[in-house]
Amino acid sequence: MPRPVWKGHVSFGLVNVPVTLYPAEQRSDLKLHMLDSRNNSRIRYERVNEETGEEVPWDSIVRGYEYSDGNYVVLSDEELKRAAPEVTKTVEIQSFVNADEIDPIYFDTPYYLEPGKGGDKGYVLLRDAMKDSGRVGIAKVVIRTRQYIAALSPHGDALILELLRYPQEIRSIKDLKLPAGPAKAHGVSAPELKVARTLIDAMAGEWDPDQYTDEYRTELMKWIEKRMESGDVKRPADLPDVEEEPATGPINFMDVLKKSLEQNEPKSGRRPSPRTQKKAPKRKAG
């Protein structure tokens, strides 16, 4: 079980539910260290005092706000917590909205909420009431000296708190060179669009995250294991040559679409009708 981020309570109306916040994200990135190529020694980062050049131990590090050049207001972790104890220990729900109203681009980091001592009834009350309503709670929460907006939603027996990005944190698309306007204005014919839609319907399926794996990580681990077995762990292994794709002329999209459709034909040979296709499920509260 991961270490808790903090303990506090969820408040909605006059109801307060004691909870503990846990990270829900578990990264599986392949950890690669930076080495000095001359002797393969680890390169380490040090916390160095810029005046003395000496390394600073963790227990001597504090945070400071620079109010003028070289002058700081020093703040300890305890002071940061005491500055606004109610704000830093509360997931304060501001309103409830329909789950599908939140654009996925706003979602950032998920956390689990576990009920604290004596909090089971209030936890279940909030969880099941949101399930029945189909809504999620929009809340304010402070984590590590920063206030976030977040979406609180039921997920099975759990409540999940997903930090949301502020609008100003999302880059505008207006500076991108995007093909605006209808498909016809960009040379896409009605038959091409129809076949593309048929291909999408043929490839439709139920969302199952368990069927997806990090293929790049798997293949990279095979190379690492091959190097370990050979005993040659210092010199980069010889990799197969990657053939460059030959330059091609204009693409005949209709031919490509039809070939793709043939590869995705159901075994019965019948193509699923767009009318019989299940629509992609909207993001639900639970």
In the chain, count H helices and then E strands.
6, 11
The confidence score (pLDDT) of residue 237 equals 47
| Best CA proximity match to 164, nearest among 104, 121, 112, 119 | 104
The confidence score (pLDDT) of residue 247 equals 54
Q: Which residue stretches of the chain have pLDDT < 50? A: 237, 268-282, 284-286
How far is residue 133 from each of residues 98, 119, 127, 271, measured CA to CA in Å? 9, 21, 10, 38
Strands 90-98 and 6-12: parallel
The confidence score (pLDDT) of residue 197 equals 86
Residue 141 near residue 91, CB atoms below 8 Å: yes
Q: Is the dihedral of CA 23, 28, 29, 30 positive or negative?
A: positive
- What is the C-alpha to C-alpha distance for residues 39 and 33, in angstroms, rounded to an integer? 14
Q: Is the dihedral of CA 73, 74, 79, 84 positive or negative?
A: positive
**pTM of the predicted model, to two decimals?**
0.66
The confidence score (pLDDT) of residue 283 equals 52
- What is the C-alpha to C-alpha distance for residues 152 and 112, in angstroms, rounded to an integer? 10
Which residue is it, tokens 């809504």?
Answer: 135
